[in-house]
């Protein structure tokens, strides 16, 4: 349900067709994005008195009587934004109403969205991930933790220094808040965590799934609308084969945990995910040992199997060395009159077979 925020995009609507907000003290410069289905449009505008640039988010309703769920979403977004004070969440400025609809004003960030066709190197994607996780940590550390519910490329702006900005809190809610029927499974297909599809309670791990899907799109250079191409018959993100072979198995394992089907198998929250990500090398050194340990780390089954394999090999090697030693000293053992050594030799001989 997020808006296609396209900073820098020149809208197709002629200037004369832009809404007139002069009575409210603003002049529209250009259209930034449009979601016709949801009745939302965003504009870049300028304050007539101060020249300050703002984003005006328009909520239009098809019926003469405003849609109640849409109005509540508008009010909820304003309420949540008023509580927030983070340099990379555009701050709430003002709101007003006209006969055409409701309007919310936010701080303007001069950064394009990840929804545009942009290519990033794997190390840059890690930097973007860190920047977004820092925002999520802030949201999750509120007295009433906030879940964004619509993290996707279009709702993330990234500037030239790779600082990320999170926008569109239209679906955001406090953790534990009861969702209305109209807001169930209201996120974006492909980016929506599985638990939301089934109406299960959302947790801090829910936004991590959406972030993981976003990062996978960046790494595989998949557009948001094509994310279904990465989803297999079991509705899981199957992306490993589409990643560059240079990507470290550690980073792959981190991504796989971010988008685990069961939220219990993901990182518990953004702080844990960030702590796990920071020391990871994104580009692989391409060593067999690194690959082995990443595989062991990625799944518990692989972990158990790996330990069993290593243990078996170690035991077999030890038996082989003992057997070799026994063969070398066979004549000494045969000549020995000590009966206590004979049973040990027979057991070693059995192990050799």
pTM over 0.85: no
Q: What tens digit of pLDDT does each residue of 187-232 get? A: 688 999 999 988 889 999 999 999 999 999 999 999 999 999 999 8
Residues whose CB falls within 8 Å of the CB of residue 296, separated by 6 or more in sequence, listed in order: 302, 303, 306, 307
Q: Which residue has the tokens 């690959």?
A: 291
Q: What are phi and psi of 258, to 5 degrees?
A: -60, -35
Where is 40: in which H helix or E strand? strand 40-47
> Rounded CA gap, 91 and 107, in Å?
5
What is the CATH code of the structural domain delimited by 122-297? 1.10.510.10
Q: What is the largest CA-CA distance in the chain?
A: 113
Q: Measured between alpha carbons, how far is residue 28 from residues 70, 96, 154 in Å? A: 24, 15, 22
Q: What tens digit of pLDDT does each residue of 59-101 get? A: 886 544 455 566 677 888 999 999 999 999 999 999 999 888 8
> Rounded CA gap, 165 and 156, in Å?
6
Q: Find the DSSP H helices in 179-261.
A: 194-197, 204-220, 249-258
Q: What pLDDT is attached to residue 211?
A: 98
At 192, list the tokens: 């929506």
Q: What tens digit of pLDDT does each residue of 147-163 get? A: 999 999 999 999 999 99
Q: Please give the CATH architecture assigned to the domain spanning 15-107.
A: 2-Layer Sandwich (3.30)
The answer to whether 232 and 261 have CB atoms below 8 angstroms apart is: no
SS3 46: strand
Q: Is the dihedral of CA 9, 11, 15, 17 positive or negative?
A: negative
What are the beta bridge partners of residue 47?
26
């Amino acid at each position: 349900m997020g808006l296609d925020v396209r900073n820098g995009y020149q809208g197709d609507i002629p200037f004369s067709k832009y809404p007139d907000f002069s009575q409210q003290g603003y002049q529209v410069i250009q259209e930034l994005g449009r979601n016709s289905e949801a009745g939302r449009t965003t504009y870049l505008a300028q304050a007539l008195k101060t020249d300050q640039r703002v984003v005006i988010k328009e909520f239009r309703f098809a019926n003469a009587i405003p849609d109640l769920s849409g109005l509540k979403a508008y009010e909820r977004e304003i309420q949540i934004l008023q509580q927030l004070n983070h340099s990379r969440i555009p701050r709430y400025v003002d709101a007003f109403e006209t006969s055409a609809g409701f309007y919310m004003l936010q701080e303007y960030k001069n950064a394009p969205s990840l929804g545009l066709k942009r290519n990033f190197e794997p190390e840059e994607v890690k930097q973007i991930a860190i920047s977004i996780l820092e925002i999520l940590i802030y949201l999750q550390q509120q007295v009433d933790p906030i879940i964004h519910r619509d993290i996707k490329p279009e709702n993330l702006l990234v500037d030239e220094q790779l600082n990320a900005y999170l926008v569109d809190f239209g679906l955001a809610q406090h953790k534990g808040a009861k969702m209305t029927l109209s807001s169930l499974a209201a996120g974006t297909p492909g980016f929506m965590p599985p638990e939301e599809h089934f109406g299960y309670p959302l947790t801090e791990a829910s936004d991590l799934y959406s972030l993981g899907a976003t990062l996978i799109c960046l790494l595989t250079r998949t557009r948001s609308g094509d994310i279904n191409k990465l989803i297999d018959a079991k509705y899981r993100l199957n992306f490993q084969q589409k990643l560059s072979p240079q990507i470290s198995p550690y980073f792959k394992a981190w991504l796989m945990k971010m988008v685990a089907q069961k939220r219990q198998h993901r990182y518990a929250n953004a702080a844990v995910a960030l702590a796990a990500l920071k020391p990871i090398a994104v580009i692989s050194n391409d060593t067999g040992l690194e690959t082995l340990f990443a595989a062991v780390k990625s799944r518990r089954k692989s972990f158990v199997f790996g330990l069993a394999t290593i243990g078996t090999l170690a035991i077999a090697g030890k038996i082989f060395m003992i057997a070799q030693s026994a063969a070398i000293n066979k004549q000494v053992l045969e000549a020995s009159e000590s009966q206590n050594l004979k049973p040990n030799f027979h057991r070693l001989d059995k192990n050799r077979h």
